Amino acid sequence: MTTHQIVVIGGSFAGIGTAHYLLKHTIPALERASNGSTKYKLTLISAATHFYHKFSAPRLLASEFLLPLSKAFLPIADGFKQYDPDHFELIVGEAQSLDQTAMTVVVSSTYGPSQERAVPYSTLVLATGSSSDSPLWSIPGSHEKTKAALEEMRSTLPDAKTILIAGGGPAGTETAGELGTLYPQADITLLSGADRLLTRIRPAIGAAAESKLSALGVKIIHNLKVVGSEPSADSQTTVQLSDGTSRTVDIVISATGIRPNSKFLPRDWLTEKGYVITRDHTSLRGPVDGVYAIGDVAGYSLGGALDVLDAVRPLCSTIFVDLAGPNAGNHKAQAYKQVVTETQLVPIGPNGGVGAVFGWRIPSFLVWLIKSRDFMIRKAPGTVAGSDFVKA
């Protein structure tokens, strides 16, 4: 009996979801199709021991009372105890390089003494996501760095008199709403970096967000970006702005600088901006045979949650068809259909917000019901356990 090694790199929404679906549905189907001649084993490589519910970061950084950190950081291993060790292995470490010829990924440990390990693959799924300028929004290796950044922010906010938030996308807008609600005594400024807030949805919704923030006392400045920063006296920070001026503030929160986690991959696998090439967006096949990409690191993605959740089943069905070959029978790969109509929910504080779903603008109370009341942290345990993919 031969063993086919499926390696999934990424310990966030895309990687965890794909691993669960493959283990629950695809691998059993492949072993049945091979009539026992091939064993399939899945290895999940995660830089962190814990899953981080990054969508809740705007509330996490603001208050332990509103949202405890313990609800946002969950051990990945616990979610995979349900599987036979013969079919699953979790490796905690960060991918450093990839050898196309040997078909191995070199992984270095992110906790404890530095060690490297070459992990062989027959099939590779790239789900490494993206990073930002600040550790608040994603895990830069060990999850302890993100926890420490959140705890530090929480400890300094109550005494801050001036707060500058850079970035007018969902993260920056949501953060401004949280801080404007909790710290009305502070002078809070949001730099959109564009000509309006929330540029991926219609201007009227961005204007509604701006109106709600203004009502909370948040100042919004458009067409201005932070281009540099340096520490100054009394634990303050001086930021240099794109118009040539500077400001000195107590706290700077950067919600910009999103980039794909792809530096370990061959350059010819990537787009000009560093995203993994997906040859066919409906199948999510990657730059070479046997390699697939899903989520924020993939070239097809627009950066939204639906670009992960809606892609898991099509991706796994494509993997089944590719690996089963003539034994796939009548099974055909499910085509991925990307949602391109407006779908974005943006809480402005804990009581509501703005947004649209599939092109339909929704009222504030629906934003509260779906997201604003708890930033969807209630779904975190199910994400780690694979609850979204119990059914094929």
The string of DSSP letters for 103-148 reads TEEEEE-SSSS--EEEEE-SEEEE---EE-SSTTSS--SSHHHHHH
Rg, C-alpha atoms of the chain:
22
Partners of residue 270 on adjacent β-strands: 276
**Residue pLDDT, tens place only, 21-51:** 999 999 999 999 998 899 999 999 999 999 9
Confidence of residue 230 (pLDDT cuts 50, 70, 90): very high
CA dihedral 136, 140, 144, 148 (to 10 degrees): -30
**Residue pLDDT, tens place only, 256-293:** 988 999 999 999 999 999 999 999 889 999 999 999 99
Can you tell me whether residue 45 is helix, strand or coil?
A: strand
User: Around Cβ 85, how many Cβ atoms within 10 Å?
Assistant: 9
Rounded mean pLDDT, 182-211: 97
Distance of alpha carbon 387 from alpha carbon 128, whole angstroms: 21
Give residue 233's pLDDT.
82
pTM over 0.85: yes
Whether 198 and 209 have beta carbons less than 8 Å apart is answered as yes
Task: For the chain, give the mean pLDDT.
Answer: 95
Give residue 86's pLDDT.
94
**Residue pLDDT, tens place only, 120-152:** 999 999 999 999 889 999 988 889 999 999 999
State the greatest distance between any 2 C-alpha atoms of the chain, in Å, as a whole number: 70
Give residue 329's pLDDT.
84
Rounded mean pLDDT, 92-106: 97
User: 55-78 as b/e, with b when 16 or more CB fall inside 10 Å?
Assistant: bbbbbbbbbeeebeeebbbbebee
